């Protein structure tokens, strides 16, 4: 009986395969880290062959741990680091160059040139994104312009592009055509396509005007499909060991939204990792941000209308805790921040603004730098640590406020996941600062679960999102304890601190 669903999570640092049961509980996982290749300042690459190799090992490893086989899997879903760009030869399966990772900034100049040429508005209106090195379009252009023979091969239909979802689906469903066997499927889903700067958010199709801006031969782009449908089947002689429907595909942040069962407009998830990622479901409406947030896809289930989202990210959250540990040495492990910050009643007048490389959404002030303000002789490292935890939460509040303002929606709760959510004090502070309850699910692996959900829905393993919503079980909930006056005073102090951090770097 196929009473499990599998999901591949192809992340920035590792690739894992997880197996879930019908309740959405984890049955097994296997995970492998891959090499971060940094040949020059600002360049970050992955070896696509290593990623495919690790995916195969992860699938086999998890199936073996669970004592399961292909016949036990109703479907497989995939979620992936978004934007990371692979261009390969469809005749051989060999990549022309390493994958350009989303963090790679070598295409800064391509993005800046688009801005200079006045294309910002067009790209924003159609794709929902501001031109930036982050997104795939410029990365494809860079490969076409800088790797010998690729443009020619693309024009002849040999060189094809994909994010790592596309790369893995292509391999899982066939790879290169050989021995009379068809080539693998070359496709992606709307959430991944929506991160290229090449897809029109309304038509959900590649946009000829955008493609022309990047001078990309259209035939190298994958077919855009929904996030949940049967795309094809795994090869019987592949790592799964049988023909299993490949039926779900979502970029990681979209998968986390889905795994958190944020199915209604106004539902929001915040992932607390090295940085934070907030995604707000805005329903069928495409909300244009007045605050520099990204307009992005939520997900699209088969033929049903697409669900859109607003996305805001915060560069420095968990990394500020690492900074306390590694640069200041006031804690020896991230978890110690909770006890130390909890040893004082409040921040003692201290605020910390982690503008290490400027302030991003919703401030967009590259001239800001980090600041610790409000110090008096009385303050200790405990106050500073508490101010760091508060900064994680105030930065989140700033993005939440911007989202709520843009979308005109009421927020009634926040769903959280990620490493920092282990810190109970930090989550309590988050509830206090926002004035709404903060909830964490039992299954912490929301990203992988979201991909499994998308795949399971497509094959009828789960009937609908209502059923998935009943799977969402709360592990912890923090409710606000501050009164309005406390909340206002706290936020006023944070706002003052942010002002102090601005204008530090002069042109
Ligand atoms: P990523 O996926 O970005 O690697 P994780 O979700 O694994 O991130 O979270 C790791 C981050 O969480 C690290 O920056 C670490 O400092 C922080 N972190 C982990 N545990 C705690 C804790 N108990 N208190 C505060 N921060 C923590």
pLDDT profile of the chain (507 residues), mean per 10:
94 94 95 92 94 98 97 98 96 98 91 94 93 94 97 97 98 94 96 97 97 97 98 96 98 96 95 93 94 94 97 92 94 97 97 92 88 97 98 97 92 92 97 97 92 98 96 94 97 98 87
pLDDT confidence of residue 409: 86
Q: Is the CB of residue 318 below 6 angstroms from any atom belonging to ligand 1?
A: yes
Question: Is the distance from the beta carbon of residue 354 to the nearest atom of ligand 1 less than 6 Å?
Answer: no
CA of 275 to the centre of ligand 1 (A): 9
In the chain, % helix, strand, coil (3-state, to 5) comes to 35, 25, 40
Contact 355, 371 (CB under 8 A): yes
Ligand 1 centroid from CA 99, angstroms: 26
Q: Whose CA is nearest to atom 22 of ligand 1?
A: 335
Residue in 419, 427, 429, 476 to alter for ligand 1 test, most ligand atoms within 8 A of Cβ: 419
For 40, phi and psi rounded to 5 degrees? -150, 165
Its pTM surpasses 0.85: yes
Ligand 1 touching residue 420 (CB < 6 A):
yes
- Other C-beta atoms within 10 Å of 401: how many? 15
Q: Which atom of ligand 1 is nearest to the CA of 319?
A: 14
Could you give the 3-state DSSP secondary structure of residue 448? helix
Is 273 touching ligand 1 by the criterion CB < 6 Å?
Answer: yes
Quote the ligand 1 centre to 416 CA distance (angstroms): 13
Report the atom number in ligand 1 closest to the C-alpha of 417. Answer: 6
Ligand 1 atom 13: the closest Cα is on which residue?
318
Pairing of strands 86-89, 187-189: unpaired
274 CB within 6 A, ligand 1: yes
CA–CA separation, 458 and 447 (whole Å):
17
Q: Is 319 in the pocket of ligand 1 (CB under 6 A)?
A: yes
Say how far apart CA 422 and CA 251 lie, in whole Å: 24
Q: Is the CB of 322 under 6 A from ligand 1?
A: yes
Cα(228) to centroid(ligand 1), Å: 30
CB of 321 within 6 A of ligand 1: the answer is yes
List, as one string, the DSSP characters of 49-74: HHHHHHHHHHHHHHHHHHT--GGGEE
The best mutation among 256, 318, 356 to test binding of ligand 1, ranked by most ligand atoms within 8 Å of the C-beta, falls on 318
Judge if the beta carbon of residue 334 lies within 6 A of ligand 1.
yes
Q: How far is CA 115 from CA 111, 140, 474, in A?
A: 6, 18, 45
Closest C-alpha to ligand 1, atom 18: 420
CB 77 less than 6 A from any atom of ligand 1: no
Distance of CA 158 to the CA centre of its chain: 30
pLDDT score recorded for residue 507: 65
Q: Is the CB of 349 under 6 A from ligand 1?
A: no
Ligand 1 pocket residue status of 422, Cβ below 6 Å: yes
57 CA from centroid of ligand 1 (Å): 26
Distance (Å, whole) CA 160 – CA 288: 31
Measured from the Cα of 13, ligand 1's closest atom is 4
| Ligand 1 geometric centre to CA of 200 (Å) | 35
């Amino acid at each position: 009986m196929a009473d499990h669903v599998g999901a591949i999570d192809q992340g920035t640092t590792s690739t894992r395969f997880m197996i879930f049961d019908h309740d959405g509980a984890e049955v097994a996982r296997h995970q492998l880290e891959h090499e971060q290749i940094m040949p020059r300042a600002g360049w970050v690459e992955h070896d696509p062959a290593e990623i495919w190799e690790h995916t195969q090992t992860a699938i086999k490893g998890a199936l073996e741990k669970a004592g399961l086989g292909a016949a036990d899997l109703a479907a497989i879903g995939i979620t992936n680091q978004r934007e990371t760009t692979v261009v390969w030869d469809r005749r051989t399966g060999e990549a022309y160059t390493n994958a350009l990772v989303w963090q790679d900034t070598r295409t800064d100049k391509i993005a800046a040139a688009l801005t200079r040429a006045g294309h910002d508005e067009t790209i924003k209106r159609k794709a929902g994104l501001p031109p930036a090195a982050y997104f795939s379009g410029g990365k494809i252009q860079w490969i076409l312009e800088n790797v010998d023979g690729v443009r020619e091969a693309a024009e002849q239909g040999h060189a094809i592009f994909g994010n790592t979802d596309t790369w893995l689906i292509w391999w899982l469903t066939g790879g290169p055509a050989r021995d009379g066997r068809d080539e693998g499927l070359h496709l992606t889903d709307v959430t991944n396509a929506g991160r290229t700067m090449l897809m029109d958010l309304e038509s959900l199709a590649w946009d000829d005007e955008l493609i022309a801006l990047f001078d990309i031969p259209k035939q190298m782009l994958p077919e855009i499909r929904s996030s949940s449908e049967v795309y094809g089947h795994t090869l019987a002689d592949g790592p799964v060991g049988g023909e299993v429907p490949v039926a779900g595909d979502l970029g990681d942040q979209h998968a986390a939204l889905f795994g958190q069962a944020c199915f209604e407009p106004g539902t929001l998830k915040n992932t607390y990792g090295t940085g934070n990622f907030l995604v707000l479901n805005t329903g069928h409406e495409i909300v244009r941000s007045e605050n520099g947030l990204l307009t992005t896809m939520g997900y699209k289930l088969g033929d049903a209308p697409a669900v859109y989202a607003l996305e805001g990210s915060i560069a420095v959250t968990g990394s500020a805790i690492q900074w306390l540990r590694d640069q200041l040495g006031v804690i020896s492990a991230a978890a110690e921040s909770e006890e130390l910050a909890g040893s004082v009643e409040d921040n003692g007048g201290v605020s910390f603004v982690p503008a290490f490389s400027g302030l991003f959404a919703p401030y967009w002030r590259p001239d800001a730098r980090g600041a610790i303000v409000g110090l008096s002789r009385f303050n200790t490292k405990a106050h500073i640590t508490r101010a760091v935890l508060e900064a994680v939460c105030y930065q989140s509040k700033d993005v939440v406020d911007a989202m709520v303002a843009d979308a005109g929606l009421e927020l009634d709760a926040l769903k959280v996941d990620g490493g920092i959510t282990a810190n109970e004090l930090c989550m309590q502070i988050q509830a206090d600062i926002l004035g709404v309850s903060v909830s964490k699910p039992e299954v912490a692996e929301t990203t992988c679960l979201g991909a499994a959900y998308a795949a399971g829905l497509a094959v009828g393993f789960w009937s609908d999102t209502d059923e998935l919503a009943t799977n969402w079980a709360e592990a912890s909930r923090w409710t606000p304890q501050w009164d309005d006056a406390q909340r206002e005073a706290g936020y006023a102090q944070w706002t003052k601190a942010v002002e102090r951090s601005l204008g530090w770097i002069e042109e």
